[in-house]
Amino acid sequence: MKEKIISLFKRMEPDKEKSPLLHTAYDAFFTFAFTPNHVTKDGVHIRDGMDLKRTMVIVVIALQLCYLWGTLNIGHQHFAALGMYQNLILEGFHLKLFYGLVQLLPIWIVAHVVGLGVEFYFAARKKHAVEEGFLVTGALIPLIMPPDIPLWILAFSIVFAVIIGKEAFGGTGMNVVNIALLARVFVFFAYPGTISGDEVWVSGLTKAGPGGVADYGWIHMNVLNPIFESFGWDTFSQGAAVIDGYSGATPMALAAKGGWAAVMEHYTPGQMFWGLIPGSIGETSKPFIIIGALMLIGAGIASWRIMVSMVLGMVTMALVFNMWGFNAYMEIPWYYHFSMGSFLFAMAFMATDPVTAASTNRGKWIYGFMIGVIGLIVRVMNPAYPEGWMLAILLLNVFAPLIDHFVLQSNINKRMKHVQ
Amino acid sequence: MESRIAEAPTAVSPEGEPLIVKLRRGFDVHLHGEAPKKVHSEVSVNRFAVQAPNYLGLAPMPKLMVEVGQHVLAGEALFFDKNRPEVHFVAPVSGELIAVNRGERRAIQELVILADKSIQYRTYDKIPSLDASREELFAFLKDSGAWTMFRQRPYNLLADPDAVPRDIFISTFDTAPLAPDLNLVLSGREAAFQKGLDVLGKLTTGKVYLGLDARGNAVSSAYSQARGVQKVGFKGKHPAGNVGVQIHHIRPIRSKEKVWTLGVQEVITLGTLFLEGKYDASRIVALTGSALEKPIYVSTYAGANLGDLLKNQGVAENSRIISGDVLSGKTKTAEQFLDVYDDQVSVIPEGNEYEMFGWLAPQSARPSTSRTFFSGIFPFGWIYNATTNTRGERRAFVVTGQYEEVLPMDIYPQHLLKAIITNDIEKIEGLGIHEVVEEDLALCEFACTSKQPLQKILREGIDMMIKEGL
């Protein structure tokens, strides 16, 4: 039976020379469905069951809870602005879920179609198999974008990141900086209006403040509403007004203006911890990010050294700021920095990218610690950038080879000392 | 008894109780097909071979000293290397030289001997006493062929005939998958082993170090009570039994230094030569692996024919015969011969078949250093039936820190390999290529997510270093 299926597939295999792009695509899907029949030679005779596909898919699985929360929270923030279903995430569940899906699915599809398209094209040109790196990049990018990101900007940023950030350096494993963050930093600097300020974190409003109204698309009004009506459920109501006193500001923006007191006017610590706040799609739910981080550590996929040292670096810097106390932002207790912004998401999924992080164990401690320190400095001291982790990680990505160099040099020196 | 964690190189105090080195990092690969602990001597092997490629560092064309059809005695010289004519490569058994098999550019691969029913040994005019000078002992060892049992680190080369080794290292336990029990291998030959150690003590200006099994298994008293040597216990998973790892923790090899390593059975052959005056290359070999119906220990001689060894053991269809263990052994056919330094044959199924979604939902348990498989999350007594499938395709280096997890040495394997790929000689040397040979990085290669050929890259680096004279 299995032999028949395989020979059927093998008969469909396009010619490698005549149509390289088709062959690359075929090969990617065939090896996805069937682990190849390759056997070992010149070296070990047995191999570990682990391969890059499995490594990458485990990261993708660890992100799924963030996807689930992100979908619901897009809806939740939208309705919270309208003063509806604002107490619990599960109130108005169908509306939040479908509202979130309508926002998130196009982002996810564009990220994968564009990213994999570039990946397949370069794999065909270089005549090697499609490497699995983009599986994770493609899963990460939607989670670090605001829910209202225009799709053409998203597509543009991914093309930029994958070509300039990865393929120009030689493909998976060769890139210097984190591809997902490079896509985000591209949007951040090229189209700042779509990814910063108070307007962009809550979707579907004409204005995220008093005077704004809900603005739904064709699909909400003509597809979803009739279905919900037929079940007798609540429906989307076009033109519902944003409640008085509402602002779409994230805790980060509020803290920059007035410290912890300003944050507390809008959000409770519990809301911030559980993730009922506006922000990038995947970054808000702290428990789900922590579960993902523990999965990665438990499976031995992501480096616990980087995560622990990044926490240590951030806490150290936060304590220094607490003691300094120059302004209200610096006085925010160190433990609240965990639930604001994207620290945990950056720690679990961004800083731990093995290709761009330091590659020696000792180097990982330094690398993570420096991200923690620098990221918090950017967050607290630089009013131009509301959040610091993206820039801190990209900066340390560039310095990671230097950190490794010093670690290796100390190993070399220890060895060479005995020679003289 | 002192005990401590030692991941970094440590000097051993010259006196006192044996030191125990605890190694935290490593990985034991448990496979089906272990041989029951009883030696069978009734297996008859007719053909034996001396294989020139087993000895690393020879010039391409060894000079033959015998002709095809000639009868040779066990211990009689067969050929020599033109760069070191005084070192003789000798026959392991007596019999008729029936073939000289040549490979590329007519380089000699195998000298095949059809063994006599009962072995006749070459006799020596004079066996030097242990009080003789080192020069006299060296000359005798070279002439008798015993010299070819000494392997020199760095690089596992045949020992340099003009150099006195700094130290000599012997590991008395093997942690590789399905490796033979060296206590069983020793039993009945303890006196010869001790004599061999006494001889080795005269050959080095330093010490003879014995790496002992400190994992809590019963250890033969010939190891634990050996005289005239320095004993260091090692506790840990594979590759704790690798002599390279042990050297690293006892007294690491630095640039320009040369040390020797020997296997336990080579020490016994050396001891027998001095005790009884005969070159007895007998070897106890473990025939193991899940593709064998009946794994056993057999008593034979160095360089035995693999087909003869395995003929009654029920080799399964579509399986691979390996001289050595499954991590660093060589692929062979039944027509070929056991490599001279090996005391194990592994036979495992070939894995040349597709597996649907094998990377995601494997259909059989498989060994893995990762904690993403059921058996890795609950690692209680699993024994695997591993095949030769690569379990995925080759990729660029992506994951980091993975090799370090299974290599209990203060070495950065991934960076060493990348330095080799980029031909950065200075860095290759600085990162410690002198301290490793293929078998030491074999487990890293097994664990490699990107399926990179680590041992092959390392040997290319070693060849490059030899060419540069480093």
A44 chain-B contacts, CB cut-off 8 A: 326-328, 442, 445-446, 455
What are the start-end ranges of the H helices in A34-178?
Answer: 52-62, 64-81, 93-126, 133-143, 151-160
pLDDT at site B6: 40
Q: Which residue has the tokens 């634990």?
A: B224
- Domain presence at residue A42: no
pLDDT at site B4: 35
Size of interface A-B (CB pairs under 8 A): 217
* Rounded Cα–Cα distance for residues B405 and B98 (Å): 48
Nearest to B294 by CA among B314, B278, B309, B276: B314
Q: Is B182 exposed, middle or buried (0-12, 13-18, 19+ CB in 10 A)?
A: buried
Sequence-ordered list of residues with C-beta below 8 angstroms from that of A405, at least 6 positions apart, any chain: none
| Closest residue to B354, CB basis, from A34, A51, A354 | A34
* Rounded Cα–Cα distance for residues B327 and A45 (Å): 6
> In this structure, are strands B230-235 and B208-213 parallel, antiparallel, or unpaired?
parallel
- Would you say residue B3 has pLDDT above 60? no
- Domain presence at residue A200: yes
Q: Domain check: are A24 and A95 in the same one?
A: no
Of all residues in chain A, the one with the smallest CA distance to B396 is A173
Of all residues in chain B, the one with the smallest CA distance to A53 is B359
Predicted confidence band of residue B18 (pLDDT cuts 50, 70, 90):
low
B349 chain-A contacts, CB cut-off 8 A: none
- Domain presence at residue A365: yes
Nearest to B93 by CA among B109, B72, B111, B78: B72
Are A313 and A370 in contact by the 8 Å Cβ rule? The answer is: yes
pLDDT at site A420: 54
**The tokens of A276 are what?**
């009922």
Nearest to B288 by CA among B337, B333, B321, B334: B321
Residue A26, min C-alpha distance to chain B (Å):
15
- Domain presence at residue A234: no
CA angle, B294 then B295 then B301, to 5°: 120
Residue A217 half-sphere exposure, CB side, CA atoms within 13 Å? 9
What are the start-end ranges of the H helices in A162-285?
Answer: 179-190, 218-219, 225-231, 251-266, 269-274
Q: Enumerate residue ranges in chain A where pLDDT < 50.
A: none
Give percent of chain B with pLDDT exceeding 90.
Answer: 85
B448 chain-A contacts, CB cut-off 8 A: 47-48
What does the radius of gyration of chain A's CA atoms come to, in whole angstroms?
A: 24
Q: Domain check: are A92 and A195 in the same one?
A: yes
pLDDT in tens, B169-196: 999 999 999 999 999 999 999 999 999 9
Are A72 and A273 in contact by the 8 Å Cβ rule? The answer is: no
Residue B414: which region, alpha, beta or left (left: phi > 0; alpha: psi -120 to 50)? alpha
Do residue B391 and residue A404 have CB atoms under 8 angstroms apart?
Answer: no
Q: Domain check: are A62 and A189 in the same one?
A: yes
Yes or no: domain B44-115 corresponds to CATH 3.40.50 = no
The mean per-residue pLDDT over the stretch B248-266 comes to 93
Predicted confidence band of residue B17 (pLDDT cuts 50, 70, 90):
low
- Would you say residue B161 has pLDDT above 70? yes
Q: Domain check: are A253 and A394 in the same one?
A: yes
* Rounded Cα–Cα distance for residues A129 and B394 (Å): 9
pLDDT at site A11: 87
Q: What stretch(es) of chain B map to CATH 3.40.50? A: 3-30+146-276
Are B293 and B313 in contact by the 8 Å Cβ rule? The answer is: yes
Q: In this structure, what is the dihedral angle of CA atoms A410, A415, A417, B2, given to the nearest 10 degrees?
A: 100
* Rounded Cα–Cα distance for residues B198 and B130 (Å): 8
Residue A281 CA to chain centroid, in angstroms?
8
Predicted confidence band of residue B234 (pLDDT cuts 50, 70, 90):
very high
Sequence-ordered list of residues with C-beta below 8 angstroms from that of B35, at least 6 positions apart, any chain: B178, B180, B286, B287, B288, B295, B296, B297
pLDDT in tens, A214-247: 999 999 999 999 999 999 999 999 989 999 888 8
| Closest residue to B352, CB basis, from A39, A43, A357 | A39
Residue A142: which region, alpha, beta or left (left: phi > 0; alpha: psi -120 to 50)? alpha
The mean per-residue pLDDT over the stretch B398-414 comes to 94
- Domain presence at residue A8: yes
- Domain presence at residue A224: no
- Would you say residue B11 has pLDDT above 50? no
Q: Domain check: are A297 and A389 in the same one?
A: yes
Residue A133, min C-alpha distance to chain B (Å):
9
Are A364 and A357 in contact by the 8 Å Cβ rule? The answer is: yes
Sequence-ordered list of residues with C-beta below 8 angstroms from that of A417, at least 6 positions apart, any chain: none
A40 chain-B contacts, CB cut-off 8 A: 388-390
Are A312 and A305 in contact by the 8 Å Cβ rule? The answer is: no
pLDDT in tens, B67-79: 999 999 999 999 9
| Closest residue to A35, CB basis, from B355, B397, B400 | B355
Q: Which residue range forms the structural domain that includes residue A18?
A: 2-33
pLDDT in tens, B24-33: 999 999 999 9
- Domain presence at residue A418: no
pLDDT at site A123: 92
End-to-end, the C-alpha distance of chain A in Å comes to: 67
3-state secondary structure of B217: coil
pTM: 0.93
| Closest residue to A173, CB basis, from B252, B346, B398 | B398
- Would you say residue B2 has pLDDT above 50? no
* Rounded Cα–Cα distance for residues A240 and B123 (Å): 107
- Domain presence at residue A216: no
Q: Which residue has the tokens 């010869």?
A: B192
Q: What stretch(es) of chain B map to CATH 2.40.50? A: 44-115
| Closest residue to B430, CB basis, from A31, A52, A416 | A416
A174 chain-B contacts, CB cut-off 8 A: 396
Q: Mean pLDDT of all residues in chain B?
A: 92
Q: Domain check: are A327 and A378 in the same one?
A: yes
pLDDT at site B441: 96
Q: Which has the higher per-residue pLDDT, B150 or A246?
A: B150
pLDDT at site A363: 97
* Rounded Cα–Cα distance for residues A8 and A2 (Å): 10
3-state secondary structure of B442: helix
Sequence-ordered list of residues with C-beta below 8 angstroms from that of A170, at least 6 positions apart, any chain: B396
* Number of domains, chain A: 2
- Would you say residue B10 has pLDDT above 80? no
Do residue A53 and residue B357 have CB atoms under 8 angstroms apart?
Answer: no
| CATH number of this structure's domain B3-30+146-276, picked from the four choices 2.160.20, 3.40.50, 3.90.1570, 1.20.1260 | 3.40.50
Sequence-ordered list of residues with C-beta below 8 angstroms from that of A314, at least 6 positions apart, any chain: A334, A337, A343, A372, A373, A375, A376
Do residue A303 and residue B395 have CB atoms under 8 angstroms apart?
Answer: no
Q: Domain check: are A24 and A156 in the same one?
A: no
Q: Mean pLDDT of all residues in chain A?
A: 92
* Interface subset of A 384-413, CB within 8 angstroms of B: 404, 408, 411-412
> In this structure, are strands B330-332 and B63-64 parallel, antiparallel, or unpaired?
unpaired
**The tokens of B106 are what?**
């007519």
- Would you say residue B91 has pLDDT above 90? yes
| Interface probe, candidates B29, B398, B417, B463, chain A, greatest A C-beta count within 10 A | B398
Predicted confidence band of residue B288 (pLDDT cuts 50, 70, 90):
very high
For A407-418, give the DSSP string. HHHHHHHHHHHT
If residue A324 lies in a helix (H) or strand (E), which one and from where to where?
A: helix A304-324
Residue A150, min C-alpha distance to chain B (Å):
32
Q: Which residue has the tokens 């095809």?
A: B68
A359 chain-B contacts, CB cut-off 8 A: 400-401, 414-415
* Interface subset of A 286-345, CB within 8 angstroms of B: 298-301, 303
Residue A240, min C-alpha distance to chain B (Å):
47
If residue B274 lies in a helix (H) or strand (E), which one and from where to where?
A: helix B264-276
Sequence-ordered list of residues with C-beta below 8 angstroms from that of A222, at least 6 positions apart, any chain: none
